[in-house]
Structure 1
Amino acid sequence: MIVRTLEELDGTDRDVDDGNWRSRRLLLKKDGMGFSYHDTVIRAGTETQIWYQNHLEAVYCVEGEGELELVDDGTIYPIKNGTMYALNNHENHYLRAFKDMRMVCAFNPPVTGREVHDEEGVYPLVEDDE
């Protein structure tokens, strides 16, 4: 059984901050669950381009307000507490936060925790979990 708290992740390698967002990774690939699970805060006033070409992601907003805009066709989806979205087709998108948004996210395949968004917002597929 795995039991973790956000507080115990603070300041560890599972606590990743890129400026626009802070993600605490509750489960990673090395945990062997087949997905990774994150508690992420998207900071108010930010815009982040994200394009997970190698991962599927499901996101549930539990706090805050913002929007998701699809790059391909400009469709905008309002995001607020109680909204779930799933990037089941690797959608290239912009995520904008009007108020701090707290998101619970699951990735498949799971991330290792070492991934960094490239210039197009892509996480590389990291095969090893060391």
Structure 2
Amino acid sequence: MIVRQLQEAEKSDRRIVSEGWESTRLLLKNDNMGFSFHITTIYEGANLNLHYQNHLESVYCISGEGEVETVEDGKVYPISPGTIYILDKHDKHVLRAKKEMKMACVFNPPLHGKEVHNAEGAYELDAEEVTGK
């Protein structure tokens, strides 16, 4: 069994901070579960152009307010607590935070832990692993 505390993971190398967001990766590839699980904060005012070409992602909003826009068709979906959006087709999208959002995110295949977005808004498949348990 694996047991972790978010508050402790936030003080370790499992916490990744980047422009407009931060993510604490609670479950990673080296945990051998077949997916990764993160608690991600999208900072108020963030406008993130994302395109997960190598991963599928599900995102559940715990708190905050924002929207996600699918680039292909220009549809905008409001995000508030209780909303889930699922990027099941490697959807190119724009994530905007009107108020700071706390999100629970699941990635398949799982992340290694050190990933940040590349120029296209994607995570690479062969990133550096987080070493802390």
TM-score exceeds 0.5: yes
RMSD of Structure 2 on Structure 1 (CA): 1.4
1:85: which partner in 2?
A: 85
What residue in structure 2 maps to residue 54 of structure 1?
54
**1:33-76, CA deviations, whole angstroms, 9 ceiling, x for partnerless residues?**
11000001101111011110000000100101000011112110
1:75 is matched with: 75
Q: Does 1:65 align with 2:65?
A: yes
TM-score scaled to structure 1, two decimals?
A: 0.95
Please state if 1:103 is matched with 2:92.
Answer: no
Secondary structure in 1 aligned to 2:34?
A: coil
Unpaired runs of 5+ residues, structure 1, are none
- The corresponding residue for 1:16 is 16
User: After TM superposition, which residue ranges in structure 1, 4 or more long, deviate above 3 angstroms?
Assistant: 127-130
Between 9-18 and 103-112, the greater mean CA deviation after superposition = 9-18
The alpha-carbon deviation at position 108 of structure 1 amounts to 0.4
Contact 2:55 2:90 in 1 (8 A): yes
Q: Structure 2, unaligned stretches of length 5 or more?
A: none
| Corresponding position of 2:114 | 114
Q: Distance in 2 between matches of 1:129 and 1:116?
A: 12
Query: Residue 103 of structure 1: SS of its match in structure 2?
Result: strand
The sequence identity of aligned pairs, in percent, is 53
Question: Would you say how many aligned residue pairs link Structure 1 and Structure 2?
Answer: 130
Measured in 1, the distance between the counterparts of 2:21 and 2:11 equals 15
Of residues 30-39 and 110-119 in structure 1, the stretch that sits farther from structure 2 once superposed is 110-119
Partner of 1:66, secondary structure, is: strand
Distance of aligned partners of 1:129 and 1:24 in 2 relative to their CA distance in 1, 3 Å threshold: closer
Kindly provide the CA deviation profile for residues 67-103 of structure 1, in whole angstroms up to 9, marking residues without a partner as x.
Answer: 0011112110100000001100000000000001110
Which TM-score applies when normalising by structure 2? Answer: 0.93
